[in-house]
Amino acid sequence: MRVLAAMSGGVDSSVAAALMVEEGHDVIGATLKLWEGPDGAPPAQGCCTLSDSEDARRVAARIGVAYYVLDATKEFRSGIVDPFIADYLQGRTPNPCIECNRVIKFDHLLRWARDLDCDLVVTGHYARVIRDDGGFRLLRGIDRNKDQSYVLSMLGQEQLRMLRFPVGSRRKEEVREIAAGLGLRTADKPDSQDICFVGDDYRAFLRREVPAAARPGSVVDEDGSVVGRHDGVVDFTIGQRKGLGVAFGEPRYVQEIRPASATVVIGRRGAARFTGLRMAHPSWVAGHPPAPGPTHVQIRAHGEPLPAILEDDARTVWFSDPQDGVASGQTAVLYEGLQALGGGTITETLRE
């Protein structure tokens, strides 16, 4: 079987490619170039650095596979980066990784795989694809602490048909042991933690891209009283506690962001809990919407699934218990046990 292995330069994708070689497949390694620095130079941090592509190239040489770099920088800029900036300017908290998987990364990888007559695409994601009579099911990875089914939940059945995640049935420690045993240079490489094109400071990124993002405004309490000032609403997300620029006897949290007036509303924990949410344009990786009724919804990449009720419209979800920090722009993903069913972008937070 001919396999296209996506290689980011990290340990997980390195081992995924190596496992395919060990199984006897004809493997082609590829790095998807998504981002570049000023004047087309490789960025100093985040994804697509020189060190990442060099690590991927050397791993490919070590395991004996051909290696290519595939350029998607223009599509990534227009499809992911520009909407990310626009969302923050509108007071939303976007999840660019999910959108990238949906419209950029896997779309390009699968297209190139077909052009190269590949049967499968493999990546280093911690998730599993299981085939049954009803199609394909996306399941959580065995290592719950590393599970990435949430960020893959907007894919479709046709995409799942050609995808495999070889490390999804292993724990992280085992993956590193395999890499070390094969002499891969990425065996001890730290995991990436940040949004790939932003680095470790999204505020600085936004200010570089849009200087007008630094528009000062007021910080107000639940009663509308001004309690402080800020340097731009892009510095805040719903549920944020640190960096508010004000001091009280007990913690305060961001409850609402009003970009039109450059106002940030803060309050005590629980003062603005949400009882539900509404999603836009839900996508069902399971192949069909789930039946209305009891379900579980995950509203953060590393959050726990929350008991909830799905309405008949397959867009409205009510929490069994009110929740803090539900942010427009984030993604709500429904689960049935270990299976990710799909979901959509949160466009409205609800209170009964």
- Tell me the per-residue pLDDT of 280-293, one tens digit each, with 9 for 90 and over: 989 999 999 999 99
Domains recognised in the chain with CATH numbers: 2-125+165-181 (3.40.50.620), 214-267 (2.30.30.280)
If one counts every other C-beta atom within 10 angstroms of the C-beta of residue 119, the result is 14
Instruction: Please provide the average confidence, as pLDDT, over all residues in the chain.
Output: 92
Structure token pair of residue 25: 């497949």
Identify the H or E element spanning 40: none
What's residue 199's pLDDT? 75
| 100 classed as catalytic | yes
What's residue 246's pLDDT? 86
172-181 and 11-22 helices, crossing angle to 10°: 60
What's residue 43's pLDDT? 56
More confident: 266 or 36: 266
More confident: 41 or 324: 324
pLDDT digits (tens, 9 = 90+) for 149-196: 999 999 999 999 999 999 999 999 999 999 999 999 999 999 887 788
Of 48, 97, 100, 118, the active-site residue reads 100
Distance CA 197, CA 118 (A): 29
Q: How confident is the model at residue 268 (pLDDT cuts 50, 70, 90)?
A: confident
| 196 classed as catalytic | yes
Name the CA radius of gyration of the chain, rounded.
21
pLDDT digits (tens, 9 = 90+) for 185-216: 999 999 887 788 887 788 888 988 988 888 99
Residue 36 has pLDDT above 80, yes or no: no
Of 47, 48, 97, 196, the active-site residue reads 196
